[in-house]
Amino acid sequence: MTMQQRIYDLNPNAEPFYPQNLTVPTPKTQSRMVYDRKRTQIQQKTSKSTYHRVETSIPFPKTIEEAEALHITTVMIRNIPNQFRFDNLLKILDDHCFEINKNADPEDWSKYNIVYLPMDYMKHALERRMSNLGYAFVNFTTPAAAFKFYKQFNGFAWNVRQNRKICEINAAQHQGKESLIMIFSQKVFRCKNPDFLPILFSAGRDGFNRRMSGISIGIHVRGLPFTRRNISF
């Protein structure tokens, strides 16, 4: 029988007994301990799997002719400030398309139709904080539109306090609207917020139609992820 059990036997109303030099965990501390334990488990799982990793960098073509010859339409945006949300990324894309298109022939307009900004599901679930994983995928409707975005944002310094990252634009491993829809539609996104899924804008956003809403792609399952999804797709 322990000392604590003896005290309770003598006086059921006695204060709980804790040995000296023992820190009693508070609810906040317990929550952090659970979070750290889950984070460690996830990191151990992802370190053993080559599948759950961000894809290798694929340099974007240096000329528009090369981009068109390879039909590069899907870009991977790296070094995104972690505090950026989906709406922040949409504004950047819309502003870019608007500036490109305002004096251009409508047939040559820059448009995009798929956007995916991977979020840190565990941080959102356990800390109630929105944080992306530092990269995103955007599919433009033409190689010319993708190349114009690359020319403007590759090497761009984000104007964000406490986060002076330099943007890097690569070609994504999987290219094209149809390919992305096929891949994303088969993926299970285990998270609490359905807004974290890839979004499809069927008609394409061009900077003028900012009120256009999209539809999510993928299988949404509410709950905590089994593994941290810091992967491309």
CATH code, 128: 3.30.70.330
For residue 80, being part of any structural domain is answered with yes
Average pLDDT over residues 173-191: 89
Please tell me which residue, 154 or 226, carries the higher pLDDT value. Answer: 154
Please tell me which residue, 180 or 3, carries the higher pLDDT value. Answer: 180
Please tell me which residue, 86 or 1, carries the higher pLDDT value. Answer: 86
The distance from CA 38 to its chain's CA centroid, rounded to whole angstroms, is 19
Provide the token pair at 224.
Answer: 């905590």
CB 107, CB 141: distance < 8 Å? no
The pLDDT of residue 112: 97
Average pLDDT over residues 77-103: 93
CB 105, CB 212: distance < 8 Å? no
Q: Quick one: what percent of the chain has pLDDT higher than 90? A: 46
For residue 82, being part of any structural domain is answered with yes
Tally of domains in the chain: 1
CA distance 120 to 130: 7
Instruction: Give the DSSP letter of residue 107.
Output: G
For residue 23, being part of any structural domain is answered with no
pLDDT tens digits, residue range 139-163?
999 999 999 999 999 999 887 776 6
Least confidently predicted of 13-17, 59-63, 96-100:
13-17
Domain that holds residue 50: 33-221
For residue 73, being part of any structural domain is answered with yes
Whose tokens are 């889950």? That residue is: 38
The pLDDT of residue 17: 52
For residue 193, being part of any structural domain is answered with yes
For residue 187, being part of any structural domain is answered with yes
Instruction: Give the DSSP letter of residue 55.
Output: P
